[in-house]
Structure 1
Amino acid sequence: MQKYPMFVDGRNHEPAGGEWFLTDDPFQGKPWAEIARGGQRDVDEAVEAAHRAFPGWADLTASARGALLRTLGDALAGHAERLARLEVRDNGKLLSEMHAQLSYLPQWFHYYGGLADKIEGTVVPLDKKGYFAYTQKEPLGVVAIITPWNSPLMLLAWKLAPALAAGCTVVVKPSEYTSASTVEFVRLLHTAGLPPGVVNVVTGFGHDVGAALVAHPLVRKVSFTGADTTGRQINAAAARDLKPVSLELGGKSPNIVFADADLDAAVNGVVSGIFAATGQTCIAGSRLLVQDTVHDEVVRRVVDLAGTARMGDPADPATQIGPITTPAQHAKVLDYIDIALAEGATLALGGSAATRPECGDGWFVEPTIFTGVDNGMRIAQEEVFGPVLAVIPFSDEQHAVEIANDSRFGLGAGVWTSDIARAFRMAQRIRSGTVWVNTYRAVSYLAPFGGVKDSGIGRENGIGAVHAYLEDRCVWINTGAETGNPFVLR
């Protein structure tokens, strides 16, 4: 049984309360490591370490910070395979997907390393003579980053790289279900040259560590990815201290197939959108909207393709669908299957826990497809976060838009059509942070990502992401204006 202490101020940190908890291997269905259980004292030490490190990190020239970020990216590239295997052990996602993510992840550090010395203020063209004014971009200070269990390191990189480029220091709280890879990741950053205290990790539970981080008076911003219910709690707690937040929350994304689409490509995209990553992704295309004239054909093809998916050991390159990450999530997915059946949806595929020999003792759910779904059903409105697809027919473009937007979420959407004018119209009318046309589940460090409505606040990736960790200072200089009446606004 391996043990993972926290990492604070550049060194391993034992839990102040002396407590540890177990983390499970979802494929084996049993614990494989012990994780330090942090509390208020550990949060205090980590935040204070980040606070002490902030002046030195912020005072580095932007070029020096950028050069170090690029060095960190190179170091991560050299350890991508090891980190990928660690994530597979801890969260059960496919090695092929984790290897692709971890091999791509260094690009965030290269990109934001290059952007660090491109952050510029402006000269303000004032309407008042005798004054000169300019703005400066200043780092916020200590940032709390709280990450989920489905793609821990990728989603950490989305937040960490721009925060460091901006000059902020960081305390990370990973999910209690997938903490090991984050600890190893941050250790590696410091081995590669990151100064002590610039990035710290406190492991533990939300009510102990997460709440203490959000409430800490030295934390100046909170960036969170996870469930919308938790996001609401974080937003409310941060608001008490007027702390800005970035929230990337859940989704119930529509994947819309028109009759004129390339159906082979669309079916492939539909299966990728919901069954890749075992459906455990915020951008899962969990609502399949199909034009009624091709509904039966598309459903048949999707059922046939999903039915061939190979389940089993996520470390096996041949595996296509791995386990659910936690027992609680496994139970939740099965509960939603029961809810859909009770609501009157028709089961077209799956509908149960997987008992195939190749699934061993892991927490697996068969790829599940429901037809006859009305968009008002819970299975169409609530995020399942598992391999469960709800199929909804539509008649025309207007009908598709109405169904797509009839959701409290707005994170992603897919549109499959050969009509370029329709593609532009649909992208304009769907209320979603991202719209993919004739593709799905594509991301880049260059492309902004985030949601509208209950799917969150703010954007990650792209040039704009770094500004989420900066604030403006405006400087006024009197170059010869008369002082005038002291009781009148200048």
Structure 2
Amino acid sequence: MFEYAPAPESRSVVEIASSYGLFIDGSFDGGKDGDVFKTVNPATEEVLAEVASAGPEDVDRAVAAARRAFGTWSALPGAERAKYLFRIARIIQERSRELAVLESLDNGKPIRESRDVDLPLVAAHFFYYAGWADKLGHAGFGPDPRPLGVAAQVIPWNFPLLMLAWKVAPALATGNTVVLKPAETTPLSALFFADVCRQAELPAGVVNIVTGAGDTGAYLVAHPDVDKVAFTGSTEVGREIARSVSGTGKRLTLELGGKAANIVFDDAPIDQAVEGIVNGIFFNQGHVCCAGSRLLVQESLFEPLMDSLKRRMATLRVGDPLDKNTDVGAINSAAQLTRIRELSEIGSVEGAERWSPECQLPDRGFWFAPTIFTGVTQAHRIAREEIFGPVLSVLTFRTPDEAVAKANNTPYGLSAGIWSEKGSRILAVADQLRAGVVWANTFNKFDPASPFGGYKESGYGREGGRHGLEAYLA
């Protein structure tokens, strides 16, 4: 194994204020309730900033600002709205180094991922939907589709800025205005985005950002003057939101949890498959709703694949998220680390065989070594429940029908992967999988032109692509 000299990205490229307010009607203020919370760096547990927590009165002000702005924003010709979206996309590109460092500090993900994956995709989504803004009549939703009004958007902590882009870009392109609540543990990139909006001279009130915990999100979702709710997060919270908006006439899209099957057939190229398996579960520390957390391996390939996978895992570098050599960063929070540990212990207690490469974890911060479990059955909790961490459960199968049955034996239906040299087999199996996204001989590849979403307990509605416009059009 090569020894890598430290290659840290400088945190001085981004300026983090000691405190942040709410972004309402084009400006920052401290909030009427006066409550604050702290956001910490999960790699060191150092406090990064103090952030205002929005209460009911603050949410009222944000929704009122979005409502006032809606009339003029929705009346703009699509080509004019597109100019703002293009401008936002270019500013994000220009400031991508700042944003990547900020995201890694607040979230814990490796700078290589925030720099090379998250930020390019964020800009790409704004560019893509800018292109749609003056073509809505040709999108297949009628000759003159109209915006819904005020969109309440609640996003998770695993891809803070990318989830913002997935929601804000189509909402603005279609003429809606937005009140967005970022996750409590990762508010900083959304607040930085507020500054991007000001730099782009976006009209006041078109985008409003209210920070806080679950209570703030609940106030926002339940607000009577909100026309559309978009949520990405846990299935449990998604159920609560669905109940709260039931009967209100609000449009709702939910992108929830997953327990994706990554199916490897005996004719798959092993080295390529191993890279896809590693990317499928250890990318972003496994904090990915569509992570390939269940590996289904054809029996005859099991031993050589496991040998190769363990060799590859031994080369993964766990540590400082700002080091450009790091492959696996910090777990986002103490609460998430506790859940990962608890479910992993349950896996061992239930009889699965646990393995991790030798790995020296830092003394401070929230860390978990990349882990695989073999000898897993469909009855094990680690095969049924979303762990949302760098933990892979390995099951075996003999026939394609058995692989499909095991892959579909889950309450989730967000994503899946298939590895085989036979195109006919890939197509036949993909057609039987109950998953919103199926990758063939790759995993975790995203494109703004491609729709994303799930079935069953993974939610409903699609984000991305032409389909992503529909959720914001009457």
Do the two structures share a fold, i.e. TM-score over 0.5?
yes
Q: Is the 8 A contact 1:228 1:250 kept in 2?
A: yes
Q: 2 CA distance for matches of 1:70 and 1:29?
A: 37
Q: 2 CA distance for matches of 1:202 and 1:331?
A: 28
Secondary structure of the corresponding residue to residue 319 of structure 1: coil
TM-score w.r.t. length of structure 1: 0.91
Q: Verify: 1:395 aligned to 2:398, yes or no.
A: yes
Secondary structure of the corresponding residue to residue 229 of structure 2: strand
Q: 1:190 to 1:300 in 2, by over 3 A?
A: same
Q: 1 CA distance for matches of 2:126 and 2:201?
A: 14
Q: 2 CA distance for matches of 1:296 and 1:4?
A: 53
Q: 2 CA distance for matches of 1:441 and 1:103?
A: 15
**Counterpart residue number, 2:371:** 368
Which one of the candidate residues 88, 96, 105 is aligned to 2:122? 105
Give how far 1:308 is off.
Answer: 1.8
Q: Is the 8 A contact 1:121 1:137 kept in 2?
A: no
Aligned residue identity for 1:243: K
**Counterpart residue number, 1:130:** none
Q: 2 CA distance for matches of 1:239 and 1:70?
A: 36
**Counterpart residue number, 2:193:** 185
Q: 2 CA distance for matches of 1:3 and 1:425?
A: 54
Give how far 1:361 is off.
Answer: 0.4
Q: Verify: 1:334 aligned to 2:341, yes or no.
A: yes
**Counterpart residue number, 1:14:** 30
- 1:290-326 CA-partner distances (Å, limit 9, x unpaired): 0000111111211221122111100000011111000
Q: 2 CA distance for matches of 1:74 and 1:30?
A: 32
**Counterpart residue number, 2:438:** 435
**Counterpart residue number, 2:169:** 161
Q: Verify: 1:344 aligned to 2:347, yes or no.
A: no
Q: CA RMSD in A?
A: 1.6
Q: 1:232 to 1:445 in 2, by over 3 A?
A: same
TM-score w.r.t. length of structure 2: 0.94
Give how far 1:30 is off.
Answer: 2.8
Q: Verify: 1:214 aligned to 2:221, yes or no.
A: yes
Q: Is the 8 A contact 2:310 2:357 kept in 1?
A: no
Q: Is the 8 A contact 2:43 2:364 kept in 1?
A: yes
- 1:76-104 CA-partner distances (Å, limit 9, x unpaired): 11111101111111010011110121133
Secondary structure of the corresponding residue to residue 117 of structure 1: coil
**Counterpart residue number, 1:414:** 417
Q: 1 CA distance for matches of 2:57 and 2:112?
A: 39
**Counterpart residue number, 1:170:** 178
- 1:366-418 CA-partner distances (Å, limit 9, x unpaired): 11110000012110010000000000010010000000000001111010000
Give how far 1:123 is off.
Answer: 12
Give how far 1:347 is off.
Answer: 1.2
Q: Is the 8 A contact 2:124 2:448 kept in 1?
A: yes
Which one of the candidate residues 312, 316, 324 is aligned to 1:309? 316
- Which one has the largest radius of gyration? 1
Q: Verify: 1:74 aligned to 2:74, yes or no.
A: no
Give how far 1:121 is off.
Answer: 7.3
**Counterpart residue number, 1:138:** 146
Q: 1:425 to 1:123 in 2, by over 3 A?
A: closer
Q: Is the 8 A contact 1:142 1:168 kept in 2?
A: yes
Q: Is the 8 A contact 2:121 2:448 kept in 1?
A: no
Give how far 1:283 is off.
Answer: 1.1
Aligned residue identity for 2:442: T
Give how far 1:449 is off.
Answer: 0.4
Which consecutive unaligned segments of at least 5 residues does structure 2 have? 1-16
Q: Verify: 1:203 aligned to 2:211, yes or no.
A: yes
Q: Is the 8 A contact 2:269 2:420 kept in 1?
A: yes
Give how far 1:44 is off.
Answer: 0.3
Give how far 1:276 is off.
Answer: 1.3
Which consecutive unaligned segments of at least 5 residues does structure 1 have? 125-133, 472-490
Aligned residue identity for 1:112: Y
Aligned residue identity for 1:114: G
Aligned residue identity for 1:415: I
Q: Is the 8 A contact 1:279 1:385 kept in 2?
A: yes
- 1:111-149 CA-partner distances (Å, limit 9, x unpaired): 11111111117999xxxxxxxxx8531100000010000
Give how far 1:239 is off.
Answer: 1.2
**Counterpart residue number, 2:3:** none
**Counterpart residue number, 1:488:** none
Q: Is the 8 A contact 2:449 2:464 kept in 1?
A: yes
Q: 2 CA distance for matches of 1:240 and 1:212?
A: 17
Q: 2 CA distance for matches of 1:195 and 1:146?
A: 22
Q: 2 CA distance for matches of 1:174 and 1:348?
A: 35
Which one of the candidate residues 265, 271, 276 is aligned to 2:278? 271
Q: 2 CA distance for matches of 1:364 and 1:66?
A: 42
**Counterpart residue number, 1:129:** none
Secondary structure of the corresponding residue to residue 219 of structure 1: coil
Q: 2 CA distance for matches of 1:350 and 1:407?
A: 29
- 1:416-442 CA-partner distances (Å, limit 9, x unpaired): 000111010011011100000000000
Q: 2 CA distance for matches of 1:201 and 1:370?
A: 41
Q: Is the 8 A contact 1:140 1:168 kept in 2?
A: yes
Give how far 1:349 is off.
Answer: 2.4
Q: Is the 8 A contact 2:42 2:365 kept in 1?
A: yes
Which one of the candidate residues 323, 326, 341 is aligned to 2:330? 323
Q: 1:225 to 1:123 in 2, by over 3 A?
A: closer
Q: Is the 8 A contact 2:176 2:472 kept in 1?
A: yes
**Counterpart residue number, 2:7:** none
**Counterpart residue number, 1:384:** 387
Aligned residue identity for 2:263: I
**Counterpart residue number, 2:233:** 226
Give how far 1:350 is off.
Answer: 5.6
Q: 1 CA distance for matches of 2:283 and 2:237?
A: 25
Aligned residue identity for 1:48: A
Q: 1:463 to 1:122 in 2, by over 3 A?
A: closer
Q: 2 CA distance for matches of 1:338 and 1:308?
A: 24
